[in-house]
Chains A and B, each alone.
Chain A
Amino acid sequence: MKSRANEKNKQRSLWVEAWRRLRKNKLAMAGLGFVLLLVVLAIFTIAVDLITHNAFYTEHVVKQNLRLRLQGPSKEHIFGLDEFGRDIFLRVIWAIRYSLFMGTVAIGISVVIGSLLGAIAGFYGKVVDNVIMRIMDIFLAIPSMLLALAIVAAFGTSLTNLLLAIAISYVPTFARTVRASVLTVKDQEYIEAAKALGASDARIIGKYIIPNCLAPLIVQASLGVAGAILSIAGLSFLGLGIQPPTPEWGSMLSNARSYIRDGWHITVIPGLMIMLTILSLNVLGDGLRDALDPRLKN
């Protein structure tokens, strides 16, 4: 009996255990569900663009129809039409890619750069640590939104610049998170054991330190994506991000602002999308934090 139980446990890694704990958390699973729904919708819209060679996009998402402007929600247009008579539902789902994918890519870049810097600072300590972390402190002293604003203002408004601006402004957060966990992991005896075996520094960082620092990093990253989406929306709202007529939640909000008295739906819908997305990512991040904490093992 016992050996059969062990057979079953065979490949159960710590990540599988974490997933089992996460599944019990209903709120986090709801958040994950909403994020997955957005991902599926975004992939769907990208597929439609590819298949129709942007014909559908030009015809239904960007094309104006001023006769029907500000029309409220109806059977044909469930979220209604905006100030130029475009379908808000279509615009909202066509906009997911910018928020979600750009947010993820931006955070992806800063996770890589930030954890590398943090790992080096934590692992080598002393002067290296001081130099890296003081530079990170300088970045942290500037509000991330302001920094992104400055970068976009200086280098011009383009997708790449927006991405880089957000990526750079999140680097210090990840550098700090990783450095802190590296400091706790590096004094563990298994690191010393690896040194005694003759493992190179690169191997110790890659196979011993990083896998053991991953949990807080994942939590921080999921919360970071939420922040990045907010930054993209914020910059677009200020006219420094995605430019109209390309649909983007922040710029939709910004344009709709002037018509707030004429149609409630054109501000509420993109606003709700931003809010729900951030909320989902935040509850997911909180759930992950609980799931990945080995002290809560049960």
Chain B
Amino acid sequence: MAKEELLRVENLKKYFSTHSGMLHAVDDVSFSLAKGETLGVVGESGCGKSTLGRTIIRLHEPTGGKIFFRGEDITDADKKRMKELRRDMQIIFQDPFASLNPRMTVSQTIEESLLIQGLFSRRDKEGLRKRVHELMDLVGLSERLVNSYPHELDGGRRQRIGIARVLALNPEFIVCDEPVSALDVSIQAQILNLMQDLQDSFGFSYLFITHDLSVVKHLSNEIMVMYLGKMVEKCSTADLFRNPRHPYTKALLSAIPVPDPDFHADRILLEGEISSPIDPPAGCRFAARCRYATDRCRQGDIPLREVEPGHFVACVLD
């Protein structure tokens, strides 16, 4: 069953130049995302998953590769076109304490989306007020908070504002940059449920970035595992949990805590630190910490291969 493709990324690269060399934040990542689906992106801190999300919606300029949105090449879209496109591609940030302007009230923050994109005129006070209330209602914010400032609210409520602000534009594609990792576990579930409900009613496509596999397990159709800017494995969620192929994915999966005191996991403990993304050596980037690494892993590029239909792995062992 082929679904309509919304986003396609081809060989996307984002390098940052630093004093000590080129930092390969995202290196040669390709994937596509269908309408109404969710792609989970997992990996540890500093593996380039946030940079990937931000580069796709052009908050960072890509170093190489192509981005297609609804079939249109937006890699070099100019400012004017990007502003139009931003109505359809949005981002929800990780830290709800940093992503809201502390000098704006809840209603001002939500209105800002509508005003910037010209969906409402500033003079249409009544229309704006109604729309803001409608949006607050949609994300489960009580109407009496309309004039509150972010610092008066807790993390969950703030994240709801961040979602309402994005919802105001009714986008098709939303990058969710670790939207729940700054929240308490009980609040996490609420926000995840809210996001799921919104997806069901509005048909959003999510690129869901997280370092927590259990968060994406119930939300994603597919999961992509990143290590040091490279995609190492990508397959359907069910496949990933049942049959992980890459040694890094296996290690990640074995690190998920199990709520059972008698359960003694056979944990795969990774030795050493994540290596530097600045001018990385050739070969598999995970080789330095991989228990199966051989000389072959350190030579030449390891291509992503389709080992089963829809299951891609970048590992010489497979």
| A contact residues vs B (CB 8 Å cutoff) | 3, 6-7, 9-11, 13-14, 188-190, 192-199, 203, 207-208, 211-212, 294
Contact = CB atoms under 8 A, between A and B. Distances in A.
Interface stretch (B111-119, B128-136, B191-199): B111-119
Given A3-B144, A188-B98, A189-B98, A196 B103 contact: no
Contacts of A199: 112, 116
Given A189-B99, A192-B93, A196-B86, A9 B152 contact: yes
Given A189-B99, A212-B102, A196 B91 contact: yes
Interface in B72-98: 82-83, 86-87, 90-91, 93-95, 98
Contacts of A190: 98-102
A10 B93 CA distance: 27
Given A14-B149, A188-B98, A196-B86, 10 more contacts: A6-B145, A14-B103, A190-B98, A192-B93, A194-B101, A194-B116, A196-B90, A197-B116, A208-B101, A294-B102
6 contacts: A10-B147, A13-B149, A188-B98, A196-B86, A197-B113, A294-B151
B57 interface: yes
A11 B83 contact: no
Nearest to B92: A193
Contact of B91 (A13, A193, A203): A193
Interface in B103-143: 103-104, 112-113, 116-117
A212 B144 contact: no
Contacts of B151: 14, 294
A196 B57 contact: yes
Contacts of A14: 102-103, 149, 151
Given A9-B152, A13-B149, A193 B116 contact: no
Contacts of B57: 196
A222 B305 CA distance: 66
Contacts of B214: none
